[in-house]
Amino acid sequence: MNVPGTLLTVALGLCLATALLAPAVPARIRPALSGLGTAAAGAVGAAAGGAAMAGHAWSAWLPDLLPLAGVRLALDPLGGLFVAVTGGVAVCAGVYGIGYARHGLSGRVVQATLPLFVASMLLVPAAASVSTLLVAWELMAITSLLLVLAEHGRRTAVGGAGLWYAVMTHLGLIAILAGLAGLAAGAHGEAFDQLRAAHLPPLARDAVFLATFAGFASKAGVVPLHAWLPRAHPEAPSHVSALMSAAMVNMGVYGIARVGLDLLRGSSEGGAPAWWWLLVLAAGGVSAMYGILQAAVSADLKRLLGYSTTENMGLVLMGLGAAGFFATRGAPRLAALALVAALLHVVNHAAFKTLLFQAAGSVLYATGTRDLDVLGGLRARMPYTTALFAIGALAASALPPGNGFVSEWLLLQSLVHAIPASGVAGAVALPLAVGVVALSAGLAVATFVKAFGVGFLARPRSPEADRAVESPPSMLGGMGLAALCCAALALGPTVIVPGLARAVGTLLPGAAPATGPVSGPVSGPAMETVTLHLSGIAGTMSPLLIAAAVVAAIILLAGAVRMLAARGRRVARLWDCGVGPMSARMQYTATSFAEPLQRVFDDVLRPETDVDVTPKQESAYLVERIRFHALVPDRIERRLYGPVLAAVDAVGRRARALANGSVHRYLAYGFWTLTGLLILLAVIP
Amino acid sequence: MSLWRKIRKTGRVAEPAPERPTGEAPPEAAELRGSVQFRHVDAGSCNGCEVEIGSAFGPVHDAERYGARLVASPRHADALLVTGPVTRNMEVPLRRTYEAVPQPRLVIAVGDCARDCGVFAGAYGVAGAVSDVVPVDAEVPGCPPEPEAIVAALRRLTGR
Amino acid sequence: MSGDLMSGLIATVLQVVLVIAGAPLLVGLMRQVRARMEGRAGAGVPQPWRDLRKLLRKEPTEPRDTGWPFRLAPLVLAGTALVVAAVVPLVSTASPLDSAADLFAVTALLALGSVALALGGLDTGTAFGGMGASREVTVLALVEPTILVSVFALSVRAGSTNLGAIVNVTEADPMRVLSPASLLAAVALAVVTIAETGRIPVDNPSTHLELTMIHEAMVLEYSGPDLALIEWASAARLTVLLGLLGSLFLPWGVATAGTGALAVLIGVAAFAVKTAALGVLLAVGEVFMAKLRLFRIPELLAGSFLLALLAVAASFFLAGGA
């Protein structure tokens, strides 16, 4: 057993030990044990993933662990990347969870499930056979469902969210199962190596791709299979939200990449159909747009973050789709570039979404609410959380010097330079894709200015926000770790690019690992090593240099102003036009902030507003009360899921007539079914 | 196109600049050196003075050419242009507006009402002249004052 | 090589100094042109510098209950403008910083400045601050796609999104400026430049009416040196964007790598003339137009987005046909 194998085994062992120990220790120290165990397992897991990304492959077959086929595990650079991301998120979530669990989450089930959830997410990218993958996948689904339901006793919405999640994730499992079973049947074996060598007929191949794409896309929260995500993520405890949103949804991306670019390789010799990847690109584009639009008008902080996850997964899928598309067009360099952009965005998204969900959790912990309309004024009351949220928001809005900017820049570069290579379909799709990426980036800016500016700045809009106090050190520590990752990724993305290029090499063997963005020669001048050079494309950008230049310019200006200024700063009364004082309710709220955008995108969002005027009894002209109610429903959910749910409901209602409680009738059903079967068997030769 | 023709036909409307006004400028004005932003406060005026201020900043008298400009926020202002007797309801807002102006700050009382309450002196809703509420640095007499007089007062502040 | 670097460095420094000193003069020139067309005498071209000199010496105020976002916003706004002024090829394409940021990064840096100011406006907690911030980011969100798609159209022929490369390619073959793709992209970029810099018809920089404000509403609480920074930064952003339009679509005179001091001097003169000419054009246009209603602005921006898309399509199909 080599380095990644040993490390992965240790990580899984730590998870299991923590899960077994947690119920046994007293509730007082349980969160600390579970959190530290999870964090340690995450750290070791991240090291395992890193080792795999560095090029140490590992595989193992444990025939006795599962009946029939046994367990097959393997770590290649691609799997290693996702293991590393999961591990990193688990470290932050584990540390953070120590403090967060004081909030009545120290129960046995929750604390024992958390490490198991992490273990399952470490296993999924390491699975090397269909049955192993499916078992790990189901373990991930069940443990995350248990964690989503952790606070079901406190809020009624949790139950509904859990139900949605359970149904959606299992429908997804069925789709994946069907797809992979079809592939395994065609390959006469279920180990991934056998699948790679299989030659499926085109129709079966398309069916396998579509089924697995649907299943994995539902996990990634891709529109229109996203309905569970904005429900489950807000209702889960915040460190679990972070794990789900930053690590679990990635597994959907992993699945699509693994199946589409790797496992179906043998079946699609001579090129996979381009429409697969245009479909992925389109699904990604729709998700990015729709997700960020819903986030932009959402006033619930965690729901906003959930929709932002849909947006970011959409961007990742756009990169993935573009990569597949370029590969079919015979442009391996561009394909590699797009894929590196997608994978880098996975890493970046994991870093900043962990941070943001944890910061949102701290706000929830301190104020008891996640409604942006009643928050505000946290800058003075929770200074560290505010600063940390600002770092995450900067990254999420894809502005320099945030880390999200780097991956979106790479994505745009790959899209922009592809025109000559992509034919008419590309000439139509790619400019639109660039427009979608740009618009989603712009809306992300609006979204996070709202989340940060309204939620944290100015004055508190409610007594709950007024009473907020800073979170305990463990929660700050978890957030600080995530913020450090964000900063490192923002300033030195060139460090992890070789690892990403190796992961790309496993998916696109046509492209040598050295293609894609390469960092300059290490021995060259200092400027070269921090600049992203793209091989074959004359595009360069240096995040570190930009950040340094901005900081230098700010210091320069501050110094110049201080030198020239003749008078000191005076604290003055807020300019309230001379009357006042202005009450906190006169501030712009999240809803009012998003109103112009809501109006601009009226046709897509279809907001529902309702003004209810109650006149006084004496006269219709004297108003006693006006109630204004505004709601932006998830339109896709309502249009698409509404009819299906109604149909299922109707069938269920009809079927109720069959079950009227009479035992005689049930016996009759059994009798007639048996008789019918026997007759059927007798008739069929 | 018709607008273009009109612009060409009309040409310059601004009257030639009169001689630079003589007279004492408040000491704070020395620091402003050719750029004074005004925030206008109507403390209870009949709007006669407003019409004249409007005309002082209009194309004919064009006070902007001397470096004076009306702004939207007292934070951006160097001086207040106060008109009318200070009514009870405007007493506190006027004081607060004055407080909101960053140092160095000046106040010009425009019109007879602002100087000594004019015909409204002693009325039940009047709190007093502007100088009873905030320190006044310059005064423009007249009911309403002529735009030339207002421009001259502004020029004393801008020094141009 | 080091000689090239030196001349590039000198050109860059010159360019930054030129933007720092010239931006307020450009605004003064535009005000003067407007004043003359309105039949007024005008305050003179150096008036914005007099305003800045005075503001720097005035007392900065800070409303109670505001914090670091409020204090940092003017510095970030001005800092990003300064960095952009150093990166964009206005005088010379041989800036040593050219490889650090391409047009995407420049767009994002300008957006960062706007975001900082929007947060500063929100931090005051006044209704106007929030209103200005909300409108600013709405316009920002709608402007970004147009800019990036226009960049797309321009970069197709250059094979790069780095500004120096785009300008070099255009300078080598000036007739390309007249290609349909380039013209469409020019119109689209001109529209978004107007939107980004808050000029009529998107925003009125000299409005006193809070309800119609976008940019002005966010800065109502700033005074003294803070305000000076904001005013200077707005002027610098206008200068840089107009200069960039000039460099991208009228690249004559921009010094290229390996040319001597004379070329740099010509570059300086060309930049000053082009930017001033574009500024005058913009000011004249403003006299003939009224500000659009806030909710008509998205239509304008959607139109410019369409033009940018057409530019990409044209650049692809015409290149394929040729």
pLDDT tens, per residue, chain C with 322 residues = 466 677 778 888 889 999 999 999 999 999 999 999 989 998 999 999 999 999 998 999 999 888 899 999 999 999 999 999 998 888 888 777 777 778 888 889 999 999 999 999 999 988 888 999 999 999 999 998 888 888 888 887 777 788 888 888 888 888 878 888 888 889 999 998 998 888 888 888 877 777 778 888 899 899 999 999 999 999 999 999 999 999 888 888 888 776 778 888 888 999 999 999 999 999 999 988 888 888 888 889 989 999 988 888 887 777 654 3
Q: Is the pLDDT of residue A338 over 60?
A: yes
Give B92's contacts in chain A (Cβ within 8 Å): 578-579
Contact B76 C227 (CB under 8 A): yes
pLDDT at A532: 62
Q: Is A463 on the interface with C (CB under 8 A)?
A: no
Q: Which chains does chain C touch, 3 or more C-beta pairs < 8 A?
A: A, B
What is the number of residues in chain A?
A: 685
Contact B96 A573 (CB under 8 A): yes
pLDDT at C208: 77
Contact B72 C220 (CB under 8 A): yes
Q: Considering only alpha carbons, which residue of chain B is nearest residue C48?
A: B35
| Number of structural domains in chain C | 1
Question: Please, are residues C42 and C70 in contact by the beta-carbon 8 Å criterion?
Answer: no
Q: Is B42 on the interface with C (CB under 8 A)?
A: no
Give A570's contacts in chain C (Cβ within 8 Å): 59-62
CATH 2.40.160.40 fits B33-158, yes or no: no
CA angle at residue A255 from A287 to A506, to 5 degrees?
A: 115
Which residues, at least 6 apart from A642, have a Cβ–Cβ distance to it below 8 Å?
none
Q: Is the pLDDT of residue A663 over 50?
A: yes
Least confidently predicted of A277-291, A555-569, A668-682, B12-26: B12-26
Q: Which amino acid is at C133?
A: A
Q: Is B5 on the interface with C (CB under 8 A)?
A: no
Give A581's contacts in chain B (Cβ within 8 Å): none
Q: Is C64 on the interface with B (CB under 8 A)?
A: no
- Largest alpha-carbon pair distance within chain C? 64
Q: Considering only alpha carbons, which residue of chain C is nearest residue A437?
A: C145
Model confidence at A607, pLDDT cuts 50, 70, 90, reads confident
pLDDT at A515: 38
Q: Is the ipTM beyond the 0.85 threshold?
A: yes
Q: Is A20 on the interface with C (CB under 8 A)?
A: no
Task: Give the bridge partners for A626, in sequence order.
Answer: A613
Mean pLDDT for the stretch of residues A291-309: 93
Interface test with B, best of C51, C59, C70, C207 (most B CBs within 10 A): C51
Q: Which amino acid is at A478?
A: G
How far apart CA A622 and CA A638 sit, in angstroms, is: 38
Q: Considering only alpha carbons, which residue of chain C is nearest residue B7?
A: C37
pLDDT at A523: 27
Q: Is B70 on the interface with C (CB under 8 A)?
A: yes
pLDDT at A524: 28
Residue-wise burial string across A93-104, b where 16 or more C-beta atoms lie within 10 A, e elsewhere = bbbbbbbbbebe
pLDDT at A526: 34
Q: Is the pLDDT of residue A420 over 80?
A: no
Q: Is A441 on the interface with C (CB under 8 A)?
A: yes
Helices (DSSP H) in chain C: which residue ranges? 2-37, 47-57, 68-87, 103-124, 127-158, 163-172, 180-196, 215-218, 224-249, 261-287, 297-321
pLDDT at C242: 94
Could you tell me how many CB contacts below 8 A there are between chain A and chain C? 276
Tell me which residue of C241, C246, C236 sits closest to C273, measured CA to CA.
C246
Q: What pTM was estimated for this model as a whole?
A: 0.93
Q: Distances from the Cα of A31 to the Cαs of A96, A101, A103, A234, in angstroms? A: 10, 6, 10, 21
Q: Is the pLDDT of residue A558 over 90?
A: yes
Shortest Cα–Cα distance, C22 to chain A (Å) = 17
**DSSP strand pairing (A608-615 vs A623-631):** antiparallel
How far apart CA C44 and CA C32 sit, in angstroms, is: 6
Query: A23-57 pLDDT, tens per residue?
Result: 899 888 899 999 999 999 999 999 999 999 888 88
pLDDT at C263: 85
Question: Please, are residues A41 and A90 in contact by the beta-carbon 8 Å criterion?
Answer: yes
The whole domain housing C46 covers 2-321
pLDDT at A197: 87
Contact A438 C148 (CB under 8 A): yes
End-to-end CA distance of chain B: give it in Å, rounded: 36
pLDDT at A533: 60
Give A575's contacts in chain B (Cβ within 8 Å): 73-75, 100
Of C87, C144, C155, which has the smallest distance from its Cβ to A442's Cβ? C144
Q: Is C130 on the interface with B (CB under 8 A)?
A: no
Query: A151-200 pLDDT, tens per residue?
Result: 888 888 899 899 999 999 999 999 999 999 999 998 888 899 888 888 88
Q: Considering only alpha carbons, which residue of chain A is nearest residue B91?
A: A578
Question: Please, are residues B104 and C58 in contact by the beta-carbon 8 Å criterion?
Answer: yes
Interface test with C, best of B64, B69, B160 (most C CBs within 10 A): B64
Q: Does A269 or B2 have the greater pLDDT score?
A: B2
CA angle at residue A592 from A588 to A594, to 5 degrees?
A: 120
Contact B78 C58 (CB under 8 A): yes
pLDDT at A422: 66
Of B73, B90, B92, which has the smallest distance from its Cβ to A575's Cβ? B73
Interface test with C, best of B64, B76, B154 (most C CBs within 10 A): B76
Model confidence at A522, pLDDT cuts 50, 70, 90, reads very low
Model confidence at A334, pLDDT cuts 50, 70, 90, reads confident
Give A570's contacts in chain B (Cβ within 8 Å): 102-103
Question: Judged by CB atoms within 8 Å, which residues 357-376 of A form the interface with C?
Answer: 376
Contact B75 C227 (CB under 8 A): yes
Model confidence at A510, pLDDT cuts 50, 70, 90, reads low
A69-78, A112-121, A484-493: which is most confident: A112-121
pLDDT at C322: 37
Give A549's contacts in chain C (Cβ within 8 Å): 83, 86-87, 97, 100
pLDDT at B151: 93
Q: Is the pLDDT of residue A525 over 80?
A: no
Interface test with C, best of A540, A576, A589 (most C CBs within 10 A): A540
How far apart CA A65 and CA A205 sit, in angstroms, is: 31
Mean pLDDT for the stretch of residues A326-331: 84
Q: Is B71 on the interface with C (CB under 8 A)?
A: yes
How far apart CA C233 and CA C20 sit, in angstroms, is: 9
Round the average pLDDT of chain A to a whole number and report it: 88
Contact C223 B17 (CB under 8 A): no
Mean pLDDT for the stretch of residues A132-151: 93
Query: A218-237 pLDDT, tens per residue?
Result: 999 998 888 888 889 889 99
Question: Please, are residues A315 and A440 in contact by the beta-carbon 8 Å criterion?
Answer: yes
Report the percent of chain A where pLDDT is more than 70.
Answer: 94
Identify the residue whose tokens are 């995108």: A601
pLDDT at A518: 43
